[in-house]
Amino acid sequence: MENLSRRKALSLGVALGLVGVTDPVRAWASTAPAAPAAPAAPAAGTGPEWIWDELADPLMASMLDRGHVPAINTAWASWVNNDDPLPSGLPAEFAAYLGRVNVLPDWADPVKLARAADFNRRRDTYLFMLYGLGSGIMSTVIPREAKSVYWSAGGADMQDRAAKTFTFGYDLAELNAFEPSGQFVVTANKTRVVHAAVRHLLPQSPHWRAVADETVPISAADILVTFHSLGTYVYRKLRDWKIPFPAADQEAFLHSWQVAVHLLGVPHEYIPRTWAEAERQSAQVLTPILTPSTEGIALAEELLGLTAQIDLGVTRGFLNEFVRYVLSDEVGDWLGLRRDYAAAALVRTAWPAFILFREGLSPIMPAGFYMLDQFVRALAMLFLNKGASGKATPITIPTGNRAA
């Protein structure tokens, strides 16, 4: 299964790319930094839920208002590798911004990042299933996230959105993701720019304003919540499933996410320093806000419905029950996922046996092994640029919102 290779784990998980939840400042007060100095507890109105992106936001508002985005999208299509020179044809202030941010933080540890990349390769089967059918569907029951995604331009075509945002997971999972020859630093900074564009565009949508309980989406807190729905959730499930997860792998996996979140513009003092801190933060700011919304239910059905376009070798009932297995029956009920009790029995017996066999902890290949193996492969292929060329769809900056 490791031969899923580069384009694997985050397709569905980041298909919903935008984030959207805030919580009281106290939730962030104990968060330790990724870099050494510890911050003071933030006062009301000064925590990460009140922080957006002071560098990218005004820049992108200017680029959009002045009509520069189409030219930027054309120019930066060839800007791919971390060590690529900035492309010509960019507005001077936009090029200056990219030159400033397109670097790793000085606290990034190349040894840990290399180990994290190898961990992603070794554990791609579990990561794909958890990011895709766990994190991706979980994001539809984060109300602010679901509403922001639904009413942004990409919400009108979730398959295209999945293909585009898959690039983030594609490049993060590469063995050389953070090296000069890799692509993740560039990809993360393109994603940061897209977030800034959406912060400018989405408040102009009457549809979004009618359902939103915020005035500006995608705060630093929101991005951290999405990290918990991805990284912290996966960390917890791997441990719950008793998959061998050495301390060095745990530390490296966290470090890759710390760097990724930093590259998206989150101030380092709010990034959890340990998994224990991440678990505490997640319990405060993610778990309590999970609930269904009209937009989230629609998005979940769109995402799960994409699987009907290829032969997964399983029924829709099996897919519904796997979502229930990796999240909960409560989430399944929120989303209206119809029950298939025969499939539920299969999932809850075959998947643990699948893990035991793969990990060499059982000499007996379970009856459902081949089906599960093909299921994971087929689901992965759906998001390889709509299951076609196997090339990542370029990240582009939107210029509008969903019409209706």
Q: pLDDT confidence of 12, banded at 50, 70, 90?
A: very low
Window from 39-48, 71-80, 110-119, 369-378 with minimum mean pLDDT: 39-48
Residue 335 has pLDDT above 70, yes or no: yes
What are the backbone angles phi and psi of residue 117, rounded to the nearest 5°?
-65, -40
Q: Which of 34-38, 47-51, 120-124, 342-346 has the lowest mean pLDDT?
A: 34-38
Q: What is the pLDDT of residue 361?
A: 81
Does residue 377 surpass a pLDDT of 80? no
The residue ranges of every structural domain in the chain are 2-29+46-283, 294-388
Grade residue 217 by pLDDT with cuts at 50, 70 and 90: very high
* pLDDT cut 70: percent of the chain above it: 80
Closest CA to 373 of 124, 13, 170, 172: 124
Helix (H, G, I), strand (E, B) or coil at 401: strand
pTM: 0.87
Locus of tokens 């997640």: 282
Q: What is the pLDDT of residues 281-316, one digit of tens each?
A: 999 999 999 999 999 999 999 888 876 566 667 888
- pLDDT reported for residue 376: 73
Task: Name the residue among 124, 115, 107, 109 with its Cα closest to residue 253.
Answer: 115
CB of 174 closer than 8 Å to CB of 184: yes
- Output the average pLDDT for the chain: 84
Burial state string for 386-402 with b = 16 or more CB within 10 A and e = fewer than 16: bbeeeebbebbbbeebb
